[in-house]
Amino acid sequence: MLKIAIRTLAWAILLAIFLATVSPIEERPHLASGPSLDRMAAFILLGILFCLGYRRAWPFALAIVTVAAFGFEAMQMLTPDRHARLDDAVVKAFGGIIGVGIGLVVNRFTPWPLPGKDDRSQ
């Protein structure tokens, strides 16, 4: 059950990042930090969730965050008020890679299924 919840959250976060990336600039959410930190933090979270949700398929998680980083950035060329930049895509991809790395460490040191949970399918 926990695995399904994490996977659902990972896909929901991916959709939210997509919508924020291709929406008009005035509708993009802004945090107190700069936009590069926002981008990196979102993709770190995404990488962690995909790595935890697809525990044994971490290369899949790595591919998802990397393709999403460059693909979402490229999609900005389809909107007149946004601009695609290679350095933004690299920041996003780097954040995703860091997130997958964190997820791998968590997976390594966390027993699955979690204690007290009856989730035998990993």
Do the Cβ atoms of 65 and 43 come closer than 8 Å? yes
What string of pLDDT tens digits covers the 122 residues of the chain? 788 999 999 999 999 999 888 777 666 666 666 667 888 999 999 999 999 999 889 999 999 999 999 999 888 887 777 777 888 899 999 999 999 999 999 999 887 765 545 444 44
Residue owning tokens 């966390």: 110
**Long-range contacts made by residues 71-80, C-beta under 8 angstroms, separation at least 24?**
72/17, 72/18, 72/21, 72/22, 73/21, 75/18, 75/21, 75/22, 76/21, 76/22, 78/22, 79/22, 79/24
State pTM to two decimals. Answer: 0.83
DSSP output for 62-78: HHHHHHHHHHHHHHGGG
